[in-house]
Structure 1
Amino acid sequence: MKHYFKDLYNYHHATNQAIVKLLMDYQHLVTERSLGLISHSINAHQIWNARINGTQPFGVFETHSLENISKFDTANYHSTIEIIDSTNLEKVIEYNNSKGEPFSNAVADILFHISNHHSHHRGQLISDLKSSGIPSIVTDYIFYKRKPIAL
């Protein structure tokens, strides 16, 4: 299972970095909504990592520069790979959500949630980019498996 999660997070990192590069190339067309979507996706990933690691989380809706989004995505990626390598994925962690409500979930379930959350918001982002006249890139997992995106 650890190999599977590492593969998923390699995909998300490569795809996020390719999207950030696209956004940088078309900065003049990037909307506030698009910047907010990718920032939120990166923030949520960092928040979940922080819950697992017991570190300080970002705010859910903080907006970042494209340069920082790229850096934060890379930091998230490395943190998640470390979690996968060093944690029993069936371990249940307790945490509070953004409203302060207590919950507990297995690390594997959290990792799947983060992956799914990236995919959900990536779809919204690609739709936004098309509406703004920015040419889209293929971000489907199966296309990544056929030919990984080079970083």
Structure 2
Amino acid sequence: MTAPDAVRRRFRHHVWAGSTLLGVIADHPAPDALRPFAHALAADRVWHHRLAGAPTDGLEIWPALDVDGCRALLQETTDDWQAFLAGPLDLDGPAVYQNSRGEPFESAVRDVFDHVLLHAAHHRGQANAALRAAGATPRALDFIFWARSGEPAP
């Protein structure tokens, strides 16, 4: 498997994990679960815009979203990432961007992808912990669980 194909595969897990978590949150809408999940979705959008060279002005990092807002943002960012990942990927190329404070940075594209996936996993874990604290039973979202299950679609 080529490195770009491996990134695409990890993003398929990323979409599945987000969709799966959203299903649990929809059944048990705990505000403490929505907040980190909405943040992860919003950060995905910001990073996509950065890599695509689109403006990030006005994109919230910590939006206050309900389940429907999360569903819409998940679909939008999934569509954006899938279109982006369908093209050629120069993983060693530079990603030139500004952070939310306007400070300039340059990172390897592969490092941005790893950050997006790890950042989202961290916040999905926070959301799962909040669901458990609210009495819900979270779903296993780990990559290996997804891979062993035949890589189910979202």
The two structures have a TM-score, normalised by structure 2, of 0.88
Contact kept, 8 Å, 1:13 with 1:74, in 2: the verdict is: no
Shift of 1:86: 3.2
Superposition RMSD in Å: 1.5
Shift of 1:150: 4.3
Tell me, yes or no, if structure 1 residue 13 matches structure 2 residue 15.
yes
Shift of 1:90: 1.7
The amino acid that maps onto 1:64 is L
The amino acid that maps onto 2:53 is G
Map 1:22-33 onto structure 2 (within 5 A): 22-27=24-29, 30-31=30-31, 33=32
Contact kept, 8 Å, 2:21 with 2:124, in 1: the verdict is: no
The amino acid that maps onto 1:68 is G
Map 1:71-110 onto structure 2 (within 5 A): 71-84=72-85, 85-110=87-112
Contact kept, 8 Å, 1:18 with 1:149, in 2: the verdict is: no
Contact kept, 8 Å, 1:51 with 1:95, in 2: the verdict is: yes
Shift of 1:77: 2.2
The amino acid that maps onto 1:59 is E
The amino acid that maps onto 1:39 is A
Residue of structure 2 equivalent to 1:46: 45
Unaligned runs of 5+ in 2: none
Provide the C-alpha distance between the structure 1 equivalents of 2:116 and 2:22, rounded to a whole number of angstroms. Answer: 18
Residue of structure 2 equivalent to 1:36: 35
Residue of structure 2 equivalent to 1:65: 66
Tell me, yes or no, if structure 1 residue 132 matches structure 2 residue 131.
no
Taking only the aligned residue pairs, the percentage that are identical comes to 22
The amino acid that maps onto 1:81 is Q
Provide the C-alpha distance between the structure 2 equivalents of 1:69 and 1:90, rounded to a whole number of angstroms. Answer: 32
Residue of structure 2 equivalent to 1:117: 119
The two structures have a TM-score, normalised by structure 1, of 0.90
Q: Deviations over 1:11-42 (max 9, x none)?
A: 11111111111111123xx12x2211000000
Contact kept, 8 Å, 1:40 with 1:62, in 2: the verdict is: yes
Contact kept, 8 Å, 2:47 with 2:112, in 1: the verdict is: yes
**1:86 aligned counterpart, secondary structure:** coil
Q: Post-superposition, which runs of at least 4 consecutive aligned residues in structure 1 deviate over 6 A?
A: none
Shift of 1:132: 0.6
Provide the C-alpha distance between the structure 2 equivalents of 1:125 and 1:3, rounded to a whole number of angstroms. Answer: 28
